[in-house]
C-alpha cells in the first residue's frame, strides 16, 4: 500500500521566516517530482518549493499568508507505488543533514530513490535532494522584473507572453495566472490593437503594459475635445514613423549673422516683387546644397531594407502649422529655383495650407523635410522623420549670443538646428558631417554657389 509522507520546507538558505504567497496544488492533485507545490516570499526573493517525489496530494497543511521556515510541514503526500517510500518523517522539523545537498549544489535530475539512507530525515532530505527551492529574482530587480511566481512565469512562457506586458492584480502588484489569461484574451479579441491605434499605449506589437484607463473626472473638472480631422489622419502615421524608424537627432548651431544681414538688405527688393523673403527660403536652398553633398539624406529605404534609393530630384517638404493641424506641402525642384521663387512658393503653399486648400498631390513626392518652429520659439526639438524620407531638419529660434572668435566674444546670431535621421540608412558620423556642412553653408551662403 502506498505510504503517506510529510512534505516539509527544505533548506531555504538564510531565510528564517518567509510568507506563503501561493499554493499551487490542491487536494487530489497528482504531482510529479519537481512539481512546484507552494511559492514563498521573503523581503528579497521568492522561491518555489517542489515536490520531492511523485504522488497524490492528500492534505494541505498551510494557507496563503502563513509564515514558514526550514522544516515547516507543507502537505501530506501519498507517494506513488514504487516511488519515494521514505522512512517516517521526523515529528519535528529537522535541519537537513550535513550530507544533504545544499541550495548551491546542482539538483539531481532524478527523484530520490526508495533506498534513501535511513538516517536522513525523510521529507526534508527528500525535498532538498529531489529538488532544491528555485529562487526567483531579488526584489531589488522588480523595477525591471515583473513580480510573478514561478508557476505563473512558466504559464506565461508557455503562451509566449512577456510578463512586462501584464498588469498584476495580486498583492503588491503580483501577476497572477488570471492576469496573463486576461492579456491573452484582450490580444486575441483585438482590444490591444484597438488601444494601440487609439493612443500611444500599444500592448501590441511591443508587449507594453496596457494604456492606463483613468477616470480623470475623479480628480477635477475635465472636457473632452475631439482631435481634428488632420490629427486623426496623421496621428497613426506619426506613430508608425516614430516607433518603426530608429531616429537619431543631431543638434548644431549655424552662425547666420551675415545671412540675416543679407536677408534684411534684400527684403526691400523682395517687397517690390510682392513677396516676403523669409529665413525659411534660405534654409530650403541651403538644405538642397547639403543634400547634393550628402545624397544618402535625399533617399528612401527600399521595401525589404536591402537597398537605398537615392533621388536625383530635390523636393523639399515644409511643415506648416494650420488651425486644423500639421500638414507638409512640398516645394518641388527646389534646386532649380532661386531663393525669391522659393520664398514666393512658400508663401503660397502656407496660405493654401491654412485655408485648407492643398491638394493631395501638393503633399506628395518630398525627398527631405524642414520643420521650422523658429517663428514661435524654443532652443531644440526632435522632429519625427516623414517616411519614406530618411531625414528631417528641425529649426528653432535664432538668438544673438556672445561667441568666442579666438580673440574676444563677439555678438553673433545663432540658429539652432535639430536634424533627425534614420540610423538604418545614415551613420552618426554622416549625421554630424551633414549638420556641420549645413551650418557652414548657412554661415557663408556663397558656399551654395560652389
In terms of CB distance, is 19 or 387 closer to ligand CAO?
387
CB of 448 to ligand CAO, least distance (A): 18
Q: Residue 301: beta bridge partners?
A: 308
> Based on CB atoms, which residue is closest to ligand CAO, 121 or 374?
374
Beta carbon nearer to ligand CAO, 122 or 415:
415
Q: Nearest approach, Cβ of 268 to ligand CAO (angstroms)?
A: 14
| Eight-state DSSP code of residue 273 | T
176 vs 372, beta carbon nearer ligand CAO: 372
Q: Of the two residues 66 and 242, which places its CB atom closer to ligand CAO in the complex?
A: 242
Shortest distance, CB of residue 372 to ligand CAO, whole angstroms? Answer: 4
In which element (H, E) is residue 31 found?
strand 30-31
**Which of 168/374 has CB closer to ligand CAO?**
374
- The distance of closest approach from Cβ of residue 328 to ligand CAO in the complex, given in angstroms and rounded to an integer, is 8
CA dihedral 50, 51, 57, 63 (to 10 degrees): -30
Q: What is the DSSP letter of 148?
A: B
Shortest distance in whole angstroms from residue 207 CB to ligand CAO: 28
Spatial contact of 24 and 48, defined as CB atoms under 8 Å apart: yes
Nearest approach in angstroms of CB 200 to ligand CAO is 15
| Residue of 30, 147, 315, 423 with catalytic role | 423
- Please, which residues have CB within 8 angstroms of residue 159's CB and are 6 or more apart in sequence? 180, 184
Which cell numbers hold the place of 19? 510568507
CB-based contacts of 27, cutoff 8 Å, min separation 6? 57, 58, 59, 60
Number of residue whose CB is nearest ligand CAO: 374
423 catalytic, yes or no?
yes
Q: Which residue ranges make up the site for ligand CAO (CB under 6 A)?
A: 278-280, 318-321, 326, 350, 371-375, 383, 395, 397-398, 415
Least separation in angstroms between residue 239's CB and ligand CAO is 13
SS (H, E, C) 350-416: HHHHHCCCCCHHHHCCCCEEEEECCCCCCCCCCCCCCCCCCEEEEECCCEEEEEECCCCEEEEEEEE
Nearer to ligand CAO, 190 or 375 (CB): 375
- 340 near 334, Cβ under 8 Å? no
- For the chain, the distance separating the N- and C-terminal CA atoms, rounded to the nearest angstrom, is 99
Give the cell for residue 348: 503660397
Crossing angle, helix 191-198 and helix 177-188, to 10 degrees? Answer: 70
CA dist., res. 334 & res. 337, Å (int): 5
Cα separations in angstroms, 379 against 29, 52, 257, 396:
66, 66, 17, 5
Which residues are marked as active site?
423
Amino acid at each position: 500500500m502506498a505510504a503517506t509522507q510529510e512534505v516539509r520546507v527544505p533548506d531555504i538558505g538564510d531565510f528564517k521566516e518567509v510568507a506563503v504567497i501561493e499554493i499551487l496544488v490542491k487536494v487530489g492533485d497528482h504531482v510529479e517530482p519537481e512539481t512546484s507545490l507552494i511559492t514563498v516570499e521573503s523581503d528579497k526573493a521568492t522561491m518555489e518549493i517542489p515536490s520531492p517525489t511523485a504522488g497524490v496530494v492528500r492534505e494541505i497543511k498551510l494557507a496563503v499568508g502563513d509564515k514558514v521556515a526550514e522544516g515547516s510541514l507543507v502537505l501530506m503526500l501519498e507517494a506513488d507505488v514504487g516511488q519515494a517510500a521514505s522512512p517516517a518523517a521526523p515529528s519535528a522539523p529537522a535541519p537537513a543533514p550535513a550530507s544533504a545537498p545544499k541550495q548551491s549544489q546542482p539538483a539531481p535530475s532524478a527523484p530520490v530513490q526508495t533506498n534513501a539512507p535511513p538516517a536522513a530525515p525523510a521529507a526534508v532530505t527528500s525535498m532538498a535532494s529531489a529538488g532544491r527551492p528555485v529562487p526567483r529574482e531579488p526584489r531589488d530587480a522588480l523595477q525591471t522584473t515583473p513580480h510573478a511566481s514561478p508557476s505563473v512565469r512558466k504559464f506565461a512562457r508557455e503562451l509566449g507572453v512577456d510578463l512586462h506586458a501584464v498588469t498584476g492584480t495580486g498583492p503588491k502588484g503580483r501577476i497572477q495566472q488570471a492576469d496573463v489569461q486576461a492579456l491573452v484574451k484582450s490580444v486575441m479579441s483585438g482590444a490591444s490593437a484597438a488601444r494601440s491605434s487609439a493612443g500611444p499605449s500599444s500592448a501590441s506589437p511591443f508587449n507594453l503594459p496596457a494604456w492606463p484607463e483613468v477616470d480623470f473626472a475623479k480628480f477635477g473638472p475635465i472636457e473632452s475635445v475631439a482631435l481634428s480631422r488632420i490629427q486623426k489622419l496623421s496621428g497613426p502615421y506619426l506613430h508608425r514613423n516614430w516607433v518603426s524608424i530608429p531616429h537619431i537627432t543631431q543638434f548644431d548651431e549655424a552662425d547666420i549673422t551675415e545671412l540675416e544681414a543679407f536677408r534684411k538688405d534684400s527684403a526691400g527688393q523682395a517687397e517690390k516683387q510682392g513677396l516676403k523673403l523669409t529665413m525659411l527660403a534660405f534654409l530650403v536652398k541651403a538644405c538642397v546644397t547639403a543634400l547634393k553633398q550628402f545624397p544618402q539624406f535625399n533617399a528612401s529605404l527600399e521595401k525589404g531594407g536591402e537597398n537605398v534609393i537615392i533621388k536625383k530630384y530635390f523636393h523639399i517638404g515644409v511643415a506648416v502649422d494650420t488651425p486644423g493641424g500639421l500638414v507638409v506641402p512640398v516645394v518641388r525642384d527646389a534646386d532649380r529655383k532661386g531663393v525669391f521663387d522659393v520664398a514666393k512658393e512658400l508663401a503660397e503653399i502656407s496660405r493654401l495650407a491654412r485655408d485648407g486648400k492643398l491638394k493631395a498631390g501638393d503633399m506628395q513626392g518630398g525627398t527631405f523635410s524642414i520643420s521650422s518652429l523658429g517663428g514661435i520659439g524654443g532652443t531644440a526639438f526632435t522632429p519625427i522623420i516623414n517616411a519614406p524620407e530618411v531625414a528631417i531638419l528641425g529649426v528653432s529660434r535664432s538668438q544673438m549670443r556672445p561667441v568666442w572668435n579666438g580673440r574676444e566674444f563677439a555678438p553673433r546670431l545663432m540658429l539652432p538646428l535639430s536634424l533627425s535621421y534614420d540610423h538604418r540608412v545614415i551613420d552618426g558620423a554622416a549625421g554630424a558631417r551633414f549638420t556641420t556642412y549645413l551650418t557652414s553653408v548657412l554661415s557663408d551662403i556663397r558656399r551654395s554657389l560652389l
